[in-house]
Amino acid sequence: MMSADPLICSDGQVRRRLDIAEFLQARRAHLQPADVGLSPGVRRRTKGLRREEVALLAGVSVSWYTWLEQGRQVNVSVDVLDSLARALRLDAVEHAHLLGLAGHYNRWPLGGAPDHDGNEVPAAVLRVLDALDPCPAYLLGPRWDLLARNEAHRRLYPSLDDLRAEDRNLVHIVFTRPEVRAVIDGWEDEARRILSQFRADTVPHRDDPEVVALVARLHQESDEFAEWWPRHDVAGFDPHRRSFVHPQAGPLLFELSQLVPAASPDLRIVALVGLPGDDSVQRLTTLTHPTGSVSYDPGRE
């Protein structure tokens, strides 16, 4: 196993500064001089852009940018972060991620930092999950805890009913449950996608003790997580197709869509919808499960 995440420390502000530092370093390493219109020069040993090149492109001093990448306590305005985002060619999700790390939630895609823990599930949301059946659907909290799921999703992943409360987190499930890995066709690509979305989505909760403990735990329990987490990849949710190899229903194909309840913007409903001409939903429906309604775990509140 790789060592635990170096960003995990007792001081939340220090952790955030180190998050910003490592994110900038990772994005800088992904760029070549030609990507930003610079000459590569000679005897180049730096992977990606040099710090002085980023500083030049962003219009800041080299020493100030160096301090920022070293995790020192420096003042960072939104304007400077915007300049760094342009210099590093960040996409919209990466740009929002950088702003969120710096605490500028007024520019957060959801319109602000969450003001509650988001784990209380309104009855109307549970009814939506139930109405989506026979398409599998589940509900995520702001820390990606698996709060509820409908009967179709229970047929897709029956073993999740037996999870302990502390294990009911989507990232933990995907990276540590062998039966889940076996069912997802192309697990590595999907796991990388899920991890990058989790990292982008949970920025407001990066200092939350539950998130800190989850990240530390996954470093110990998953070699892939320990390898991929330091890369600081972030991505937003995009509708896409996911295929499964179910031990009873056989090959299944769904399109994933995400719904955000208007009154609970910290929650996410993820629906696996059948495709025209495909019988995956019908074949999954033929499987039986002990119950016939939405499974809600109040232990996650």
Confidence of residue 106 (pLDDT cuts 50, 70, 90): low
Peptide bond into 134 cis (omega under 30): yes
What digits encode the pLDDT tens for the residues 236-265?
Answer: 998 999 999 999 999 999 999 999 988 888
Please check the confidence at residue 190 and state whether its pLDDT lies above 70: yes
Entry pTM: 0.77
Kindly give the interhelix angle for 12-29 and 62-69, rounded to the nearest 10 degrees: 120
Average pLDDT over all residues of the chain: 85
Query: What per-residue confidence (pLDDT) applies to 113?
Result: 44
pLDDT on residue 120: 67
Residue 10: pLDDT above 70? no
User: Can you give the pLDDT at residue 11?
Assistant: 63
CB within 8 A of 79, min separation 6: which ones? none
Tokens of 291: 């119950």
User: What does the pLDDT look like over 22-48, one tens digit per residue?
Assistant: 999 999 998 888 888 887 776 777 778
Domains 12-107 and 123-300 share a fold: no
Domain ranges of the chain: 12-107, 123-300
DSSP tally for the chain: helices H, then strands E: 13, 6
Separation between Cα atoms, residue 62 and residue 73, nearest integer Å = 16
Backbone phi and psi for residue 295, each to the nearest 5 degrees, phi listed first: -95, 120
- pLDDT for 9 equals 44
In CATH, 12-107 is 3.20.20.70? no
Multiple choice CATH, 123-300, 3.30.450.180, 3.90.1150.10, 1.10.630.10, 3.40.50.2000? 3.30.450.180
For residue 124, the one-letter residue type is A
How many CB atoms are located within 10 Å of the residue 104 CB? 17
Q: What is the largest CA-CA distance in the chain?
A: 68
**At residue 116, what is the residue type?**
H
- What pLDDT score was predicted for residue 72? 86
The answer, yes or no, to whether residue 301 has pLDDT greater than 50, is no
- Say which residues have a Cβ less than 8 Å from residue 258's Cβ, sequence separation at least 6: 237, 239, 268, 269, 270, 271
